[in-house]
Structure 1
Amino acid sequence: MAWKWGGGVPEYPGGLNLQHSIEYWLTLDLLASEQGAPTPCGAVRVRDAAAADVVFVPFFASLSFNRHSKVVPPARASQDRALQRRLLEYLVSRPEWRRSGGRDHVVLAHHPNGMLDARYKLWPCVFVLCDFGRYPPSVASLDKDVIAPYRHVVPNFVNDSAGYDDRPTLLYFQGAIYRKDGGFIRQELYYLLKDEKDVHFSFGSVVGNGIEQATQGMRASKFCLNIAGDTPSSNRLFDSIVSHCVPIIISDEIELPFEDVLDYSKFCIIVRGEDAVKKGFLMNLIKGISREDWTRMWNRLKEVEGHFEYQYPSQNDDAVQMIWKAIARKVPSIRLKVNRLRRFSRFETNRMDETPTRSPWLESQAS
């Protein structure tokens, strides 16, 4: 991506797939760091790789999957797979990769199906992901990787004064009800909650006026359900946060962005799946939350929502800057791994192939 400073910034070409657009925002911020942009620039681009803490890989994996994952005859493989292969060939040929084995490379693959093939070769890298739902522990983990928020789809609730009494709906959910894998809990909750008083639980999507309906619904609700879908996370959590609708998170395997510096218990209710599907459990829990406790969480949502905001120019502690800081916190660990890798570098030895075994089950979830 390149543009002439002062001539405008190119828009993200992903359309409705904007929720997985982190490659765009971080690349934009990094390029702006050397063009005099009005931004805090938590990360600064350097031209000498030896002076860099990490190597940023500006491959738009989510966009590649969304645009090029279908096989177009007479081709036998998708363009997305071809792009991944070319990326791998380029990276491993570089001295920066050989110096660290890729351990100091930052790879953005926010869409759960992004880098579906290359991830098994890029496993030493620092991945920036939405969750670990389709990654085996040998490829991705909190030890080395960063969880980043989705970009919210609904607009921000500016100047929100809709407090407890101004939100008539107790509990809100609108989205796909029937999902595969971990999303089966949505169906169970639907049958448990669909007839409850002051509960809105219905099918919905982003097509048509779906976003407008969701915006109005969340802003009129005290609590918003955030249930695991095909993977442990979804953008609905971040739509809830910017709508100041207290999130009820039901996802046993979810990892939350920036949880090492944010206490989600101050503005979310997190429920185990096995408890949520017990008859009456969820409604009793929600009804037991006092007006005062709800108001404290509502106020906290308004304080933290900026941490989940992608924007250009980036601002202090917005999503872009929070991601850079999360990556920076990985640097000491990266240096330890690279230094340990160099212990015997003066000796020529035959190394075993450390590539993790591919998981047919995980790959089937992407289809």
Structure 2
Amino acid sequence: MEKIVFCCCHRYNSWNCASIVYSSLSTDHVVSLSPSNSLITQRLSCYGTGRVDKKEVLPSSSRRKRRKRVRKETFDEFKVAPPPPKTVPSKWQKYVWSLPPHEALLYAKKEINHAPVVTDDPDLYAALFRNISIFKRSYELMENILKVYIYKDGKRPIFHQPHLFGIYASEGWFMKLMEESRQFVTKDPSKAHLFYLPYSARQMEATLYVPSLHSLQPLSIFLRDYVNMIAAKYPFWNHTRGSDHFLVACHDWGPYTVTAHEELSKNTIKALCNADLSEGIFVAGRDVSLPETTIRNPRKPLREVGGKRVSQRPILAFFAGNMHGRVRPILLKYWKGKDEDMRIYGPLPNRISRKMSYIQHMKSSRFCICPMGYEVNSPRIVEAIYYECVPVIIADNFVPPFNEVLDWSVFSVIVAEKDIPNLKDILLAIPLRRYLSMQTNVKMVQKHFFWNPRPIRYDIFHMILHSIWFNRLNQIQLPQ
């Protein structure tokens, strides 16, 4: 008996295999329809090579278990991200590593300005990017060049103690993964291109804020004193007046913790969830908009990710949440209980949630409304992406995450606050073909917003770090 197994490559986590068996006296063979997937061929070959004696045939139940085990192992191996490809010769790397940090950044900026044209890439979906050629080249250079020095100074819990759950978890996850990184962290500050101030705005608020005082001044003074201490202890801050230093803060008060130190406020790269242009602290092109991600279980940060097909999304638009800020009361004034297609609530009522949970509402809606609360950002934006619901952002002066490289117009709808009364008309005016494209793009952009306990290429950790790297290069002037 000869068995020929045709194996199709896996795509979007689905497997399709077909086998054709015909009589012969020769050996079994495996034929892969994807020549690059040699691993599949190797795995499938364990079904049998050479002649099979009848006495050696396993019981059907054992064969099923064996097939299941082999396929699971193969799938798991494909889930492990490959190491970054060596896109440049080792001599080139040695040359770049020999450059002083500032010269290496100048070199990187020149390379990005002359990035080779990329029209297609197996790891990136071109439609999501403003310029995929620039992003790809910049990302490759970051992988090969960037080194970050992390200050050891600072006591727990404000420093070096990541908070990994809740709506402000982004700053904690970044801190954890940055401090664990072997690829990007250097212990030699003379080789560093960037310097990380490893503090947590969330932990600072919990430790230093006194509710009865109604003042954020103790927080900003504490951070001012910390920066003055490292500036006096080390020479690195004074070399650039803090322009090659960065911090990551997701708490709403993150921007206000830097106001007591002029150089920290004006020069340092700030990755902030509260990316509000109107307050004069966040500066587009220098600072980074940090995604606000709600983590309910740090051991399973990607729990319940995914959504329903478009045909199984009967709700046009959905929102439920507390009445924070100026926008949400206006949203409810015009749309709460006014239209069956517009499921707009305050806190989701128990009588509703017993039938359909908050997450199920998002998975059953075509558009998920993401109005600002007290501050411009909202965890609903990333939640909508996780549940494959097109986000509708209502927050004037908000800079979306990774806006320097991602084109948000292809996977979200941005509505001005003044247009809330016309919200349904705006959504219905989107042609079906465009909506289907946007919803597909939401699925494709998901990977750039995933936290992984072990970071993989292009995930949220690397995207945040790339934004910091990219904006640092933006500050550097090339010699004429």
**Equivalent position SS for 2:430:** coil
SS at match of 2:167: helix
AA of the residue aligned to 1:20: Y
2: CA distance between counterparts of 1:295 and 1:289?
Answer: 10
* 1:293-351 C-alpha deviation (Å, 9 max, x unpaired): 322211111100111122221111111100111111123344449x9xxxxxxxxxxxx
Say if 2:297 is the partner of 1:151.
no
- 1:165 counterpart residue number: 311
Q: 1:329 to 1:245 in 2, by over 3 A?
A: same
Residue 249 (1) aligns with residue 402 (2)? no
**Contact 2:278–2:397 (CA under 8 A) maintained in structure 1:** no
Spell out the pairing of 1:9-28 with structure 2 (5 A cutoff).
12-13=162-163, 15=165, 18-28=166-176
1:197 corresponds to:
340
**In 1: Cα distance, 2:295 partner to 2:177 partner:** 21
Superposition deviation, residue 101 in structure 1: 1.1
Secondary structure of the residue that 1:108 maps to in structure 2? Answer: strand
Match of 1:236 among 380, 392, 414: 380
Counterpart of 2:362, as a letter, is M
CA shift, 1:170, in A, is 1.4
What is the aligned partner in structure 2 of residue 315 from structure 1? 456
Name which of structure 1's ranges 288-297 and 235-244 shifts more when overlaid on structure 2: 288-297
Percent same amino acid among aligned pairs?
22
- Structure 2: which 5+ residue stretches go unaligned? 1-149, 153-159, 297-301
2:292–2:377 Cα contact (<8 Å) kept: no
Shift of 1:82: 6.4
1:57 corresponds in structure 2 to: 197
1:65–1:114 contact (8 Å) kept in structure 2: no
Q: Is the deviation greater in 309-318 or in 111-120?
A: 111-120
Describe the SS at the equivalent of 2:401.
coil
How far the C-alpha of 1:260 sits from its partner, in A, is 2.0
> Conserved in 1, the CA contact under 8 Å of 2:411 and 2:439?
yes
Contact 2:382–2:449 under 8 Å retained in 1: yes
Q: Once the two structures are superposed, what CA deviation does each residue of 1:210-268 show, in whole Å capped at 9, x if it has no partner?
A: 8x932111011111111122112111111111111111111221101111221111111
Corresponding letter in the other structure for 1:288: A
CA spacing shift, 1:115–1:276, aligned 2, 3 Å: closer
Compared with structure 1, are the counterparts of its residues 158 and 104 closer, same or farther at alpha carbon in structure 2 (3 Å cutoff)? Answer: closer
- Structure 1 residue corresponding to 2:228, chosen from 84, 89, 105: 89
Which residue among 390, 404, 414 is the counterpart of 1:260?
Answer: 404
Residue 189 to residue 242, structure 1, CA distance change in 2 (3 Å): same
1:116 Cα deviation after fit: 2.6
Q: State TM-score, norm by structure 2.
A: 0.58
1:282 and 2:428 equivalent? no
Letter in 2 for 1:110: C
Task: Check if 1:213 corresponds to 2:357.
Answer: yes
CA distance in 2, matches of 1:333, 1:63: 31
Q: Are the equivalent residues in 1 in contact too, given 2:162–2:171 (CA < 8 A)? A: no
Q: 2:274: which partner in 1?
A: 131
CA distance in 2: counterparts of 1:231 and 1:19, whole angstroms:
13
CA distance in structure 1 between the partners assigned to 2:200 and 2:277 by the alignment: 18
Structure with bigger RCO (C-alpha 8 Å, 6+ apart): 1
Q: TM-score, normalised by structure 1?
A: 0.74
Residues 68/310 of structure 1: CA separation in 2 closer, same or farther (3 Å cut):
farther
CA contact (8 A) 1:104 1:334 kept: no
Listed as ranges, the gaps of 5+ residues in structure 1 are 3-9, 35-40, 340-367
Residues 75-86 of structure 1: pairs in structure 2 closer than 5 A? 80=219, 83-86=222-225
Answer whether contact 1:134 1:231 (CA < 8 A) is retained.
no
Measured in 1, the distance between the counterparts of 2:372 and 2:416 equals 11
Q: Which residue of 2 aligns with 1:347?
A: none
SS at match of 1:91: helix
| Code of the aligned partner of 2:415 | V
* Secondary structure of 2:320's aligned partner: strand
Give secondary structure in 2 for the equivalent of 1:230: coil
User: By percentage of residues, which structure has more helix?
Assistant: 2
- For 1:133 and 1:292, how far apart are their aligned partners in 2? 33
**Aligned AA for 1:142?**
A
| Alpha-carbon shift at residue 145 of structure 1 (Å) | 0.8
Measure, in 1, the Cα distance between the counterparts of 2:218 and 2:452.
29
CA RMSD, aligned part only? 3.2
- Taking the aligned partners of 2:162 and 2:330, their CA distance within structure 1 comes to 37
Alignment equivalent of 2:466, drawn from 325, 344, 353: 325
1:152-210 alpha-carbon deviations (Å, 9 max, x no partner): 357655454x2222112111000013x3xxx32321221211221222111228x9x98
What is the aligned partner in structure 2 of residue 348 from structure 1?
none
Is this contact kept in 2: 1:130–1:150, CA < 8 A?
A: yes
In 1, distance between residues paired with 2:276 and 2:247?
17
